[in-house]
């Protein structure tokens, strides 16, 4: 997947801005607050029809009625044009100037994978943060998982409502609770098996990715910590008393967690800031590898402020790895001081300032 160009109209701080991308590495360099993240966000918006940070209305340039993002892109099969218009009354999406009525048919036309500074939360944050992140990424990769997750969430909501009703009742009808518990357990079993498969697939390349970027031999591993794994229905049924007391379902995939282990110790307690950043990057690269094995196509990498906390050696190792992959990469940074001339010679460098973006000729 490659983006040839993008045009922004009244998107965030940009009035009218065109960018023609390099097929390999693209650097967007500028001071704090110059609009680098906004550019990445426009690509993310084009891919997912939503913002990764705030409510959508903030994407429209202050005091303007609408924002528009359009781009030319190509995948292994075709070249196409995408257009997304956002106004107070909603969103309109077009592919090759044909309006796509259902947004879910539009989403996924371009395949992007983002690294955002807030993604470090998947190591340090709560189980909920990790579940949210993994569900988002895996859901994009596998529609069967997304559908099963939708069913599970629907059943869980019904069961929790029923628990509230039953808890109020002097003589609770357990038969109904049995039925919904059996349905929930059947769905839970599928979710657990999907998540196991996902973690196994990621681990196939995660260790190598981490060792390459970090230039260390430590073992980096992603582990699944299911809330329940075997005999799901029986365990769920054995929890009726506490479920009724707390008026909620106490076990199941909605309580699952994941761990990142470095040499068999939890990374969140042991790894440095820079190491954690490399771990998240290794995870993203491993996800891209898994997607490649399924679809034979690499996503466009959007890497926001990826160099902070990485030393010179690791910055260059990361970019070299991405260049070798022949994947399109869009990177924001405040400085290129530590990037080797051989990399800059093959990349496009853009300067971001005064709410505009200009390509800069690099003469290494």
Ligand X SMILES: Nc1ncnc2c1ncn2[C@@H]1O[C@H](COP(=O)(O)OP(=O)(O)OP(=O)(O)O)[C@@H](O)[C@H]1O
Query: Looking at beta carbons only, is 116 or 343 nearer to Mg ion?
Result: 116
| Strand locations in 77-146 (E) | 79-87, 90-95, 98-100, 112-115
Min dist. Cβ of residue 305 to ligand X (A): 6
Size of the site for ligand X (CB under 6 A): 16
Q: By CB under 5 A, name the binding residues for Mg ion.
A: 37
- Residue 269 is a binding residue for ligand X (CB under 6 A): no
Annotate each residue in 18-57 with x if it binds ligand X (CB under 6 A) or - if it does not, as one string: ------------x-xxxxxxx-------------------
Edge-to-edge strand ranges of the sheet holding 220-225: 220-225, 257-262, 265-266
- Burial class of residue 93 in the structure, from the number of CB atoms within 10 Å of its CB (0-12 exposed, 13-18 middle, 19+ buried): buried
Min dist. Cβ of residue 37 to Mg ion (A): 3
Instruction: Report the residue from 1, 7, 13, 180 that binds ligand X according to the rule CB under 6 A.
Output: 13
Min dist. Cβ of residue 26 to ligand X (A): 15
Q: What angle do CA 364, 211, 140 make, to 5 degrees?
A: 90
Min dist. Cβ of residue 331 to ligand X (A): 12
Min dist. Cβ of residue 14 to Mg ion (A): 14
Min dist. Cβ of residue 304 to ligand X (A): 7
Is residue 364 a contact partner of residue 336, using CB atoms and an 8 Å limit?
Answer: no
Residues 313-342 that bind ligand X (CB under 6 A): 334
Distance CA 160, CA 158 (A): 6
Partner that binds at residue 13, options ligand X, Mg ion, none, CB closer than 5 to 8 Å by kind: ligand X
SS3 279: helix
Min dist. Cβ of residue 37 to ligand X (A): 3
Partner that binds at residue 17, options Mg ion, ligand X, none, CB closer than 5 to 8 Å by kind: none
Query: Looking at beta carbons only, is 10 or 333 nearer to Mg ion?
Result: 333
Min dist. Cβ of residue 304 to Mg ion (A): 6
Instruction: Report the residue from 62, 78, 97, 169 that binds ligand X according to the rule CB under 6 A.
Output: 62
Partner that binds at residue 83, options ligand X, Mg ion, none, CB closer than 5 to 8 Å by kind: none
- Burial class of residue 307 in the structure, from the number of CB atoms within 10 Å of its CB (0-12 exposed, 13-18 middle, 19+ buried): buried
Query: Looking at beta carbons only, is 11 or 258 nearer to ligand X?
Result: 11
Min dist. Cβ of residue 330 to Mg ion (A): 13
Query: Looking at beta carbons only, is 224 or 307 nearer to ligand X?
Result: 307
Partner that binds at residue 90, options Mg ion, ligand X, none, CB closer than 5 to 8 Å by kind: none
Distance CA 249, CA 156 (A): 7
Distance CA 181, CA 159 (A): 7
Q: Which residue of the chain is nearest Mg ion when measured via CB? A: 37
Query: Looking at beta carbons only, is 13 or 140 nearer to Mg ion?
Result: 13
Distance CA 159, CA 177 (A): 7
Instruction: Report the residue from 3, 209, 305, 343 that binds ligand X according to the rule CB under 6 A.
Output: 305
Distance CA 67, CA 14 (A): 10
Is residue 247 a contact partner of residue 76, using CB atoms and an 8 Å limit?
Answer: no
The angle that helices 174-214 and 312-325 make with each other, rounded to 10 degrees, is 110
Q: What phi, psi does 331 have (nearest 5°)? A: -125, 135
Query: Looking at beta carbons only, is 27 or 258 nearer to ligand X?
Result: 27
Partner that binds at residue 226, options ligand X, Mg ion, none, CB closer than 5 to 8 Å by kind: none
Q: What would the two tokens of residue 187 be?
A: 């769905």
Edge-to-edge strand ranges of the sheet holding 112-115: 112-115, 300-303, 329-333, 25-29, 348-353, 356-360
- Burial class of residue 217 in the structure, from the number of CB atoms within 10 Å of its CB (0-12 exposed, 13-18 middle, 19+ buried): exposed
Is residue 305 a contact partner of residue 278, using CB atoms and an 8 Å limit?
Answer: no
Given the rule CB under 6 A, which residues bind ligand X?
12-13, 30, 32-38, 58, 60-62, 305, 334
């Amino acid at each position: 997947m490659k983006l040839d160009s993008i045009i922004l109209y009244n998107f965030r701080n940009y009035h009218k801005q065109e960018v023609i991308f390099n097929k390999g590495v693209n650097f967007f360099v500028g001071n704090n607050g110059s609009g680098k993240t906004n550019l990445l966000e426009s690509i993310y918006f084009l891919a997912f029809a939503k913002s990764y940070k705030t409510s959508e209305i903030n994407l429209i340039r202050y005091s303007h009625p609408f924002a528009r993002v359009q781009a030319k892109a190509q995948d292994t099969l075709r070249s196409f044009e995408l257009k997304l218009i956002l106004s107070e009354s909603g969103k309109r999406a077009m592919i090759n100037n044909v309006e796509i009525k259902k947004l879910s048919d539009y989403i996924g036309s371009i395949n992007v994978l983002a690294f955002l500074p807030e993604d470090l939360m998947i190591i340090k944050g709560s189980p909920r943060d990790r579940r949210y992140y993994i569900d988002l990424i895996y859901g994009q990769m596998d529609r069967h998982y997304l559908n099963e997750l939708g069913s599970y969430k629907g059943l869980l909501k019904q069961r929790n409502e029923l628990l509230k009703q039953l808890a109020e009742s002097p003589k609770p009808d357990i038969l109904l609770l049995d039925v919904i518990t059996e349905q929930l357990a059947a769905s839970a079993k599928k979710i657990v098996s999907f998540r196991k498969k996902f973690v196994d697939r990621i681990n196939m390349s995660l260790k190598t990715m981490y060792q390459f970027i970090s230039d260390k031999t430590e073992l980096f591993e992603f582990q699944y910590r299911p809330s329940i794994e075997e005999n799901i229905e029986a365990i769920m049924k054995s929890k009726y008393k506490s479920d009724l007391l707390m008026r909620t379902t106490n076990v199941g995939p909605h309580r699952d967690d994941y761990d990142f282990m470095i040499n068999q110790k939890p990374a969140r307690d042991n790894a440095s800031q820079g190491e954690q950043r490399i771990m998240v990057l290794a995870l993203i690269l491993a996800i891209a590898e898994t997607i490649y094995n399924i679809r034979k196509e690499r996503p466009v990498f959007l890497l926001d402020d990826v160099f902070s906390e990485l030393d010179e050696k690791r910055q260059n190792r990361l970019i070299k790895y991405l260049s070798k992959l022949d994947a399109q990469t869009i990177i924001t940074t405040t400085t290129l001081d530590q990037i080797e001339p051989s990399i800059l010679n093959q990349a496009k460098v853009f300067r971001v300032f005064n709410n505009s973006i200009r390509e800069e000729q690099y003469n290494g």
